[in-house]
Structure 1
Amino acid sequence: MSEYTASVHWQRDGQAFADNRYSRRHVWQFDGGARVPASSSPSVVRVPMSDPAGVDPEEAFVASLSSCHMLWFLDLARQAGWVVDDYRDDAVGVMARNAAGRLAMTAVTLRPAVAFAGPAPDFAAVERLHHAAHDACFIANSVTTDVRCEPILRED
């Protein structure tokens, strides 16, 4: 078993609080020292109480799924003998009401575009690699969100 930690820190800094007009800006800090400015989504809490420059939990959720998928894809492609030169995913998450009527991230669509060095696998092989990456992804295995993968064929 492994454990992963993150520290989330918010301070009121003398702001009024009871009127619900306090800043939602905060900081995420990770064990390697990375500090990430964070905030509520401006879609949830309007500016100036939220900070559009900060990463919001919904964006982080989408990025976490995309990043986990990518890391598995890279390893599986390497194991299959393919050399990946570039990987880009413009992932999109959808917030909507789930079956219980609660707001939830109901779907995340990954749209990975991969460039290979030398001969590239055919599209069917790339789809199989993405399917295997999805099956192996720890984050995708941890959520009930519908995670879809729509690979994009890159011809660089």
Structure 2
Amino acid sequence: MSEHTAKIEWQRGDAEFTYQTYSRNHTVTFANGHVVESSAAADFMGDPEKVDPETMFVASLSNCHMLTFLAIAAKKRLVVESYVDNASGVLGTLENKKMAMTTVTLRPAIVFGGDTTPDAATIDDMHHKSHEHCFIANSVSCAVNVEPA
């Protein structure tokens, strides 16, 4: 088991504290010291220049899928030269009228090198196993689709 931490810091500042006026800007500091300037999504009065939690959620799923895929490829002795994913997520409304990330779509484009290039069926199986073993995908309830490029 391992524990993962993040420190979220927000200050009111000089703004009046009403729903329309309070700042959504805050920082996320990770255990290694990296700081991400964050806000709510622009649709919810956040700063579009900063990273919102929904986008971090999409990035987390994409990142986990990629790292799992690379581990599977390395164990199969397949050489991956590059991996690019143009992932997206949909914030929608559930049947109970609550908002949630309802779908995340991963669109990985992978370039293999070395002496062996896997066929499409092998790559599909690797994506299936990556999703099945991704810690983050195993932690969420929304649909996660993988559409390889």
Asked if Structure 1 and Structure 2 have the same fold, meaning a TM-score greater than 0.5 normalized by the shorter chain, the answer is yes
Per the alignment, residue 53 of structure 1 pairs with: 49
Q: CA deviation at 1:102?
A: 1.3
Identical-pair percentage: 47
In the alignment, residue 15 of structure 1 is paired with which amino acid? A
- What is the alpha-carbon root mean square deviation over aligned residues? 1.1
- Measured in 1, the distance between the counterparts of 2:19 and 2:130 equals 46
Per the alignment, residue 121 of structure 1 pairs with: 118
Q: TM-score, normalised by structure 1?
A: 0.91
Q: 1:142 aligns with which of 126, 139, 144?
A: 139
Does the residue aligned with 2:44 lie in a helix, a strand or coil? coil
1:5–1:133 Cα change, 3 Å: same
Q: CA deviation at 1:18?
A: 2.7
Structure 2 stretches lacking a partner, 5+ long = none
- Measured in 2, the distance between the counterparts of 1:20 and 1:147 equals 33
Does the residue aligned with 1:63 lie in a helix, a strand or coil? helix
Does the residue aligned with 1:43 lie in a helix, a strand or coil? helix
Per the alignment, residue 3 of structure 1 pairs with: 3
Q: CA deviation at 1:99?
A: 2.7
Q: CA deviation at 1:134?
A: 0.3
Does the residue aligned with 2:81 lie in a helix, a strand or coil? strand
Q: CA deviation at 1:72?
A: 0.2
Q: CA deviation at 1:15?
A: 1.4
Q: CA deviation at 1:19?
A: 5.6
Does the residue aligned with 2:102 lie in a helix, a strand or coil? strand
Per the alignment, residue 87 of structure 1 pairs with: 83
Per the alignment, residue 17 of structure 2 pairs with: 17
User: Runs of 4 or more off by more than 3 Å in structure 1?
Assistant: none
In the alignment, residue 124 of structure 1 is paired with which amino acid? A
Per the alignment, residue 133 of structure 1 pairs with: 130
Q: CA deviation at 1:128?
A: 0.6
Aligned length: 148
- Measured in 2, the distance between the counterparts of 1:73 and 1:25 equals 34
When structure 1 is superposed on structure 2, of 9-18 and 128-137 the one drifting more is 9-18
Does the residue aligned with 2:16 lie in a helix, a strand or coil? coil
